[in-house]
Amino acid sequence: MRTDWTRAEIADLFDLPFDDLMFQAQTVHRAHHRSGEVQLCTLLSIKTGGCPEDCGYCNQSASAETDLKASKLMDVRSVLQSAAQAKDAGSQRFCMGAAWRNPKDKDMPAIVEMVKGVRQMGMETCMTLGMLTPKQAEQLADAGLDYYNHNIDTSPEKYGEVITTRTFQDRLDTLENVREAGINVCCGGIVGMGETRGDRVGFVHALATLPRHPESVPVNALVPVKGTVLGDMLADTPLAQIDDIEFVRTVAVARITMPMSMVRLSAGRESMSEATQALCFMAGANSIFTGDKLLTTGNRGDSADAVLFAKLGLKAMEGEEPARAAKACGVAHEHAVAAE
């Protein structure tokens, strides 16, 4: 897969007539993924609020002025009960998120048990815990973690306007630690934060030019929350948010530039029309988060998703777990590079 995309090439994709962009994205999608299948995922907040980071979009930041109550790390049994319920509801992938800058070593034994327990249920596992040391990444790999999520959030140029408590390079360092440990990378970001199209070009470029594409690319639409920096700012300037067609364009460009990745239609679906979501699936999105809640914000819910899938003729993904397939592709990629 290409990792030498230029910003000019990506900008040209964004500028294509919408029909041409969608045709190209769907063609690329069908060449690498089964059409009409969408992976169902569940995301659980295993430790909520009180985060020392100052991410301008997040109501879990300690600096956000919201009513969100901080909580301690959930016990392992409660997490596994939630995972079992998610599996019964049809989820294939269970993601666990903790509002930390980075996990403490004392928390790792419980985290490891969560990963092992979910894996034993036959579900794909993902964790997002903040920055990781090489040792912590190795612990998660030994536990069998399939994916680690650590988003770059936006373009390198926009990043400092959104977060000041860690750098863009800090994000890349954690991704490298995850890769070195042999865990699949889940990395994407948020659009609709008042960024320009140039920032969206830079965001996709940063992902598509990593030494190896993320196996999972979540594309989130900002959910403005009152009391957060961006939530309050966009309440005063709503036109700064992204429109539906531009959001779909972003999904399509991500699909074209990262053909093998799972493109995950993530936060913001609650406010999206069925038509917008349908266009996202046409643009190459092939994964969604189900349930009524996405960490601390609302989500569309299983019943609404079932109605939408029926209307569109979509079905939940079955068969080989994408993480296993991604690892196989990674091995093939490494062999190809070694042979060159």
Annotated binding site for [4Fe-4S] cluster: 51, 55, 58
28, 126, 148, 93: which is closest to 321 by C-alpha? 93
As a whole number of angstroms, the distance between CA 94 and CA 119 comes to: 9
Our answer to whether residue 186 is catalytic in this structure is yes
Our answer to whether residue 280 is catalytic in this structure is no
Tell me the C-alpha to C-alpha distance, in Å, between residue 274 and each of 17, 244, 271, 310. Answer: 22, 11, 10, 12
Query: Cβ neighbours of residue 316 under 8 Å, at least 6 residues apart?
Result: 37, 38, 39, 40, 90, 92, 309
Task: Choose, from 179, 255, 264, 300, the residue flagged as catalytic.
Answer: 264
Task: Choose, from 41, 93, 171, 186, the residue flagged as catalytic.
Answer: 186
Our answer to whether residue 126 is catalytic in this structure is yes
In the block, tokens 């930390």 appear at: 100
14, 54, 24: which is closest to 259 by C-alpha? 24
Q: Which amino acid is at 330?
A: G
| Phi, psi dihedrals of residue 221, rounded to the nearest 5° | -100, 130
Task: Choose, from 41, 51, 280, 329, the residue flagged as catalytic.
Answer: 51
Query: Cβ neighbours of residue 307 under 8 Å, at least 6 residues apart?
Result: none
Our answer to whether residue 329 is catalytic in this structure is no
Helix (H) or strand (E) holding 235: helix 229-236
Token digits of residue 286? 């092939």
Distance of CA 45 to the CA centre of its chain: 14
Helix (H) or strand (E) holding 12: helix 7-15
Token digits of residue 62? 């300690």
Our answer to whether residue 95 is catalytic in this structure is yes
Our answer to whether residue 41 is catalytic in this structure is no
Our answer to whether residue 55 is catalytic in this structure is yes
Task: Choose, from 58, 187, 280, 329, the residue flagged as catalytic.
Answer: 58
Q: Per the annotation, where are the binding residues?
A: 51, 55, 58, 95, 126, 186, 264
Task: Choose, from 55, 187, 280, 329, the residue flagged as catalytic.
Answer: 55
Q: Per the annotation, where are the binding residues for [2Fe-2S] cluster?
A: 95, 126, 186, 264
Catalytic residues: 51, 55, 58, 95, 126, 186, 264
